[in-house]
A and B are shown apart, each in its own frame.
Chain A
């Protein structure tokens, strides 16, 4: 056990300190809090750069709960390729979002609160990334939930934002419940929550015996953990909160709801992939849920008109891709066994996706900012002329997302499709169709919003955003291009998978290129020079009516349960426990009211009688103490 290097302490606790200082003293600090927050994010970025390529080991940060021989869950920081790479992403995008927010949130009155919550998020996210045991991960898991809640509801005076914050929080509760069950099941059997102990226990300890004797147990535990990821990474059927979360400020959407927090689910799944791999059924379910989410989210994205919602569904779809990859990799024991050495395609897609999705969100933020908070793409148009830098960076992000060869998205998507082709043909089909749909709706977005002619006054008067917002766009665009280049990827310790370019590799590449061309070409031809949407599919536009289904479920299911509970509550809690004693006391009170006649003489009489009675009892009835 050695003390952690100071940079680890800085990268974890500095944002926390800043958040506490800002949130406690925001009236005092005013503008200084913004500077404080941005400075801390830059410092963290530098520290995480220094962490890249350091020795892989686990550092104890501080004690948390320690019961000898029973339970030990400290704040331990695990530093390896996965966490160092993820930390780089988090701090890099976090820093750029902080900078972008300087411009985007310039006129917001509650700026200090915004930056305080942002710092709190940075702290929580760093905690998840560094977590070396499930217990610590769960704590920070909840903390990101909290900061996400705070940031979605930043404009809480708008009822839609407040409701979206609640929805996100409540939906995540369901997932977290499963997560907790999974953690407790694993802890109950192995007696430890740390990843190292769980791994060794699964190889030769209690967990190994249980897994052999009761495969269902491992399946349920793995699915419990997966449920946490379903909530946080917004997979089907808990995906409903993510599109609504777009009510938050756009930089927040870029940081939390595109690049980092929603990826935490995938990150966690990769960390515990050895547990998922122990149950073949769980692998199938994980991969299946990911695939279904990818496809359905892509379908929904094709009919959205809100620029941020298109991107939100696209995020859902890409997260589905990653989850699918986790399940697929876990299916194959040879992959799962040495996932550390050859890299994980899901994790790699997470890295590349973080860059270009953050880029797209920040780009959309710039567009929204320029069009005076107009989010409907049909009221934009022709923005290419007014905002050239934004357009070109947005186009790069779009190309990367579609998987245009040469850009990072192509490489990482190829990795996933490659695994899918090897493991499961129908998921491969879904992957290819999704890729085609992705190309289609992204083309639609760019064509409608940036090309053609301006369709509203706001769009006509749009102008390029200030430099402070362009710098992050440019930085992210560069990263979107080069993050898959082997030298950069290795330098970042990104877990680039080795794609075996055999005859399969060619098949995969051919399929994905076909999907790209069909999707992008179809989108371009269909939407060029259109003023309104030529295609109208109600089912997709209304998101498969899932929200309505949930509302109905709650209305008809929960209301019935609530009725029964209410009846029970009225009979027992309200009736027997509360009303009955109250009635007795009230009855007695009204009877005894006679005594409170308000006449001094009566009171003194009662007092004197009482005293005499006590004397009588003490002196004449009870035995004298001495005898």
Chain B
């Protein structure tokens, strides 16, 4: 992968990320976040994680951000713009952010130059990879392409099958929770009337 593509998408991710933090209009923030996530998804794909990349776009940039926009529109929060920012908090936040970046740079410096994103040697993976148990994965590997989604599915449904069900239950509970949170208010209102 050419380096400039990485730098491009890294810039997109961080630039829009900065816009999320600085924008005064929440709608701008939300749209910037969506764009930032698209850039992040591209970074995922550059790391040969196609499935995660697509999921990032579908779930985050798609569903979650739409939810955010709904809420922003629903509440009509234009009025917040005029207020001045809290200077102490601004300084504190920037300070912590800089410190964190410094720490990260110092730590990741240890990895610098050690490894690069080399082309995956798919043929070497045949026979050793878990995919050999499934003929389609082995076939894909033999053809020289990385069957990312198949391997992902294999990992999720074979190794982490139970965890997957637990997460499914969590989603159900989350749904019920949201219903309860929204409903209690109306019930209280009815009681008030």
Q: Which of B76-96 contact A (CB under 8 A)?
A: 86, 89, 92-93, 96
Query: Residues of A contacting B107 with CB < 8 Å?
Result: 619
Q: Does B100 contact A (CB under 8 A)?
A: yes
Taking a contact as CB atoms closer than 8 A, the residue among A605, A609, A619 that contacts B89 in the complex is A605
Q: Does B99 contact A (CB under 8 A)?
A: yes
Q: Write out the residue numbers on chain B whose beta carbons fall within 8 Å of the beta carbon of A615.
A: 103
Q: How far is the CB of B121 from chain A (nearest CB, A)?
A: 28
Inter-chain contacts of B99 with A (CB < 8 A): 612
Flag whether A608 is at the interface (Cβ < 8 A).
Answer: yes
| Contact assessment for B96 and A609 in the assembled complex, using a CB-CB cutoff below 8 Å | yes
- Name the residue on A nearest B99 (C-beta): A612
Q: A325 vs B146: C-alpha distance in the bound complex, in angstroms?
A: 108
Return chain B residues, CB-CB under 8 Å to A426. none
Partner of A612, one of B86, B89, B100, B106: B100
Name which residue of chain A comes closest to B93, CB basis. Answer: A605
Residues of chain A within 8 A of B96, CB atoms compared: 605, 608-609, 612
**A608 cross-chain contacts in B, Cβ below 8 A:** 96, 100
Q: Are A605 and B92 in contact (CB under 8 A)?
A: yes
Q: CA separation between A609 and B99, bound complex, in Å?
A: 9
A334, chain B: closest CB distance, angstroms: 89
CB distance from A199 to the nearest CB of B (A): 72
User: A607 — nearest CB in chain B belongs to which residue?
Assistant: B96
Instruction: Sort chain B's interface into a size bin.
Output: 10 to 19
> B93 and A612: CB pair below 8 A?
no
| 1/0 contact string of A108-122 vs chain B (CB within 8 Å) | 000000000000000
Q: Is A601 an interface residue (CB 8 A)?
A: yes
**What 0/1 pattern do residues 94 to 114 of B give for CB contact below 8 A with A?**
001001100100110000000
> CB within 8 Å of B: which of A571-627?
601-602, 605, 608-609, 612, 615-616, 619-620
Cα A620 to Cα B104 with chains together (Å): 12
Query: Considering the complex, which residues of chain B in the window 161-182 have a beta carbon less than 8 Å from any beta carbon of chain A?
Result: none
Closest to B97 in A: A608
Taking CB atoms and an 8 Å cut-off, the chain B residues in 28-87 that contact chain A are 86
Expressed in whole angstroms, the Cα–Cα distance for A620 and B107 within the complex equals 9
Chain B residue at minimal CB-CB distance from A601? B89
| Dominant SS among interface residues on chain A | helix
Please measure, in the bound complex, the distance between the C-alpha atom of A612 and the C-alpha atom of B92, giving whole angstroms: 13
Asked if A601 and B86 sit within 8 Å, CB to CB, the answer is yes
Inter-chain CA distance A615–B102, complex, in Å, is 12
List chain A residues, Cβ under 8 A from B92. 601, 605
Complex Cα–Cα for A619 and B103 (A): 9
Whether B103 lies near A616 (C-beta < 8 A) is yes
| CB of B56 to closest CB in A, whole Å | 25
A-side contacts of B106, CB under 8 Å: 620
CA distance A620 to B103 in the complex (A): 9
Q: Complex formed: what's the CA distance from A605 to B93 in Å?
A: 7
CB distance from A614 to the nearest CB of B (A): 11
A602, B89: Cα distance in complex, Å = 7
How far apart sit A208 and B92, CA to CA, in the bound complex (Å)? 87
CB distance from A532 to the nearest CB of B (A): 75
Task: Return chain B residues, CB-CB under 8 Å to A601.
Answer: 86, 89, 92-93
In the docked arrangement, what's the CA distance between A308 and B106, Å? 96
| Inter-chain contacts of B86 with A (CB < 8 A) | 601
Which residues in window 94-138 of B have CB below 8 A to A?
Answer: 96, 99-100, 103, 106-107
In the docked arrangement, what's the CA distance between A615 and B96, Å?
A: 12
CA distance A615 to B89 in the complex (A): 22
CB-CB under 8 A from B103, the residues of chain A are 612, 615-616, 619-620
* Complex CA distance for A185 and B93, rounded to whole angstroms: 75
Interchain CA distance A602-B106 in the complex, whole Å: 27
What's the least CB distance linking A182 to chain B, in Å? 67
Looking at the assembled complex, report how far the CB atom of A167 sits from the nearest CB atom of chain B, in whole angstroms: 57
Instruction: Closest B residue to A615 by CB, please name it.
Output: B103
Residues of B within 8 A of A616 (CB): 103
> Once bound together, how far apart are the Cα atoms of A92 and B79, in whole Å?
94
Expressed in whole angstroms, the Cα–Cα distance for A409 and B107 within the complex equals 103
Docked complex Cα distance between A103 and B89 (Å): 85
Taking the closest CB of chain A, its distance from the CB of B104, in whole angstroms, is: 9
Instruction: Tell me the minimal C-beta distance from A597 to chain B in angstroms.
Output: 11
Q: How far is the CA of A608 from the CA of B96 in the complex (A)?
A: 7
Instruction: Name the B residues within 8 Å of A605 (CB-CB).
Output: 89, 92-93, 96
CA distance A601 to B107 in the complex (A): 27
- Which chain B residue shows the least CB distance to A602? B89
A612 to B98, CA, bound (A): 11
A620 to B106, CA, bound (A): 10
Q: Which residues of B contact A609 (CB under 8 A)?
A: 96
A191-248 residues at the B interface, CB under 8 angstroms:
none
Cβ contacts under 8 Å, A620 to chain B: 103, 106
User: Roughly how many angstroms separate A601 CA and B86 CA in the complex, as a whole number?
Assistant: 10
Inter-chain CA distance A601–B85, complex, in Å, is 12
Q: What CA separation (Å) do A619 and B102 show in the bound complex?
A: 13
Chain B: minimal CB distance from A626 (Å): 12
- CA–CA, A62 and B86, complex, Å: 79
A608 to B103 CA separation, bound complex (whole angstroms): 13
How many angstroms from the CA of A486 to the CA of B89 in the assembled complex?
106
Chain A, residue nearest B100 (CB): A612
Name, among B86, B93, B96, B106, the residue most crowded by chain A CB atoms within 10 Å (CB to CB): B96
* CA distance in complex: A612, B106 (Å): 13
In the complex, A391→B42 CA distance in Å?
Answer: 113
**Complex Cα distance A620/B99, Å?**
13
Q: How far is the CA of A619 from the CA of B100 in the complex (A)?
A: 13
Nearest to B96 among chain A residues (CB) is A608
Chain B residue at smallest Cβ distance from A609 = B96
Which residues in B have their C-beta under 8 angstroms from that of A612?
A: 96, 99-100, 103
Task: Give 7 CB contacts A-B under 8 Å.
Answer: A601-B86, A605-B89, A605-B93, A612-B96, A612-B99, A612-B100, A615-B103
Query: B-side interface residues toward A, CB under 8 Å?
Result: 86, 89, 92-93, 96, 99-100, 103, 106-107
* Extra A-B contacts (5), CB below 8 Å, given A601-B92, A605-B96, A620-B103: A601-B89, A605-B92, A605-B93, A609-B96, A619-B107
Which 7 pairs across A and B sit closest by C-beta, in order of nearness? A601-B89, A605-B92, A608-B96, A612-B99, A615-B103, A612-B100, A619-B107
